[in-house]
Amino acid sequence: MPNRQKDDLFQLIKSLGKGEKRNFKLYAQRHSSGTESKSVILFDALDKMQEYDEETLLSKNKRLTKLQLSNIKAALYKQILSSLRMIKDEDNIDLQLHELMDQARILYNKGLYLQSLKALERHKVLARQYHQVTYLQQAIFFEKKIEAMYITRSMEHRADALAEESDEIQTRIRVSNDLSNLSLQLYAWYIKHGHARNRSEATEVKAFFDEHLPKEKIRDDWFYCRLYLFQSHCWLAFIRHDFLTYYKYAQRWVDLFDAEPQMLLVETIQYIKGMHNLLGAHYDLRNRKPFFESLKKFELFYNTDLVQGNDNFRIQTFVYLYISKINSFFFTGEFSKGCSIVPEIEQYLTEYSLYMDRHRVLVFYYKIACLYFGAGNNEMAVDYLNRIIHLKVDLRTDLQCYARLLHLIAHFELGNSEILPYLAKNVYRFMAKMENLSHVEEAMFKFLRTNFHTPVSKLKPKFEKLLHQIKPYEKKTAEARAFAYLDVISWLESRIEGVPVETVIRRKFEKIKEK
């Protein structure tokens, strides 16, 4: 994946579509004196570049000097944003609400107070329809200002009605803020640490959740409060390996949008993340039919104009859709078939490299490595695991640990016995930082350390012993992390039976189909 220098202006220009670039040129022409401006020269130069390189930029464009460049870039950045602002988006609720508020202020400044109040009422109707409580708060404050300064006689008992409405909005905003903070903090905990590593961490996260959960009763029409509440429950359950509760709240998250489809236009990203979590919950619970039904629904959504017409929606949906597609191959045991979509994923990762955070890249690399490992292509698995190991990031320590463990197992499969002792020490040292290694992890390390040089012909009874040792932990919550990242049971069964891993997993999938 290319490591491009992330210059803000360069990123903005690269994010523009053909129509947006054409619109900028027209905008620049209208606001220029007739000669080609340095801003346009800079725009064209950056548009042609594949990677941002300031020295190359200045050497190829002599009209641009190093002293001027910073100011020209700042001016061009503002010009591009202004040109984008002029592209009318009839479906953008934010813009519609801003326009109605502007109308109300213009009428107010003209002394047309009753007309201003009518504009504010239209603003409030739209804000209520889309649950935009902060915009609603602005309108109420403006209404109170007009009513306090001018005798409008617009409604009897207006003061009491406005005070009551204002109090309700303040409560909604406060509860929504508390819940969104809780959701964000739990998600941040997961991004850094991954799943709870032991009972102590699970208890600690639950205590944090209980302490910060608002005590107010949340009404059914408080969309955002319910959204952030369901999200918070999702992250808590996911961190604690409580996949049934995770599914319950992920479904409620998605159901919010099914009940109020107009919110899909306003909170598209939230719907995308909700579908991602619902798919993840179905996968973790091995809900075969619901998983593939939801995957089909999500793929249809990916191809809608709403998603394809917006860069942010398209990129985010790509991430979650293709993670679920990879999971579908894990589900069915069709690892070799899954490897066929890796070039397509790599193409998208390159195309979207300016916009992809390292956490998502880390997840893709690990899942691709697992695809190749399951397909028996240990060389390619090692290649992708090396990318994770060499990616210097302080997040998802759990994923980085299991990448190293799978890396060790892949080398074991390849018979690279000369480097296994060295790798084992490094992996054990890295995972020991996590503290309290699980029984499964300890058993696997002991097996790998003591069987580096065991002839293949004598390994079967040792594999059987290890399987017998860790099998009882398969359903224990405290050990769930080990099985969530690596299907050790299926790997051991494949070695004992002398068949590929995907054959074992495919057989298990067929049994699920029969139920």
For residue 357, is it within any domain? Answer: no
Cβ proximity of 424 and 391 under 8 Å: no
Average pLDDT over every residue of 57-85:
88
Average pLDDT over every residue of 475-493:
75
Burial of 59 (0-12, 13-18, 19+ CB in 10 A): exposed
Determine the pLDDT at residue 34.
Answer: 47
User: Which of 393, 409, 386 minimizes the C-alpha distance to 485?
Assistant: 409
Per-residue pLDDT tens digits for 492-502: 888 888 888 88
Structural domain including 19 reads 8-85
Helix residue ranges per DSSP H, 130-222: 133-149, 158-193, 199-212
Determine the pLDDT at residue 499.
Answer: 85
Average pLDDT over every residue of 188-211:
87
Determine the pLDDT at residue 147.
Answer: 79
For residue 39, is it within any domain? Answer: yes
Quick check: 2 pLDDT over 50? no
For residue 379, is it within any domain? Answer: no
Residue 419 identity = I
For residue 335, is it within any domain? Answer: no
Determine the pLDDT at residue 196.
Answer: 83
For residue 50, is it within any domain? Answer: yes
Average pLDDT over every residue of 343-371:
89
Per-residue pLDDT tens digits for 278-322: 999 999 888 989 999 999 999 999 999 999 988 889 999 999 999
Determine the pLDDT at residue 1.
Answer: 42
Average pLDDT over every residue of 93-99:
89
pLDDT band at 138 (very low <50, low <70, confident <90, very high): very high
Higher pLDDT, 504 or 337: 337
Per-residue pLDDT tens digits for 20-60: 898 888 888 877 654 458 888 899 999 998 888 888 888 88
Q: What is the mean pLDDT of the chain?
A: 86
Indicate the range of 155-159, 489-493, 499-503 predicted with least confidence: 155-159
Determine the pLDDT at residue 382.
Answer: 94
Quick check: 88 pLDDT over 70? no
Burial of 492 (0-12, 13-18, 19+ CB in 10 A): buried
For residue 61, is it within any domain? Answer: yes
- What is the number of domains present in the chain? 1
For residue 12, is it within any domain? Answer: yes
Determine the pLDDT at residue 514.
Answer: 47
Indicate the range of 168-172, 249-253, 390-394 predicted with least confidence: 390-394
Cβ proximity of 277 and 253 under 8 Å: yes
Quick check: 490 pLDDT over 90? no
For residue 513, is it within any domain? Answer: no
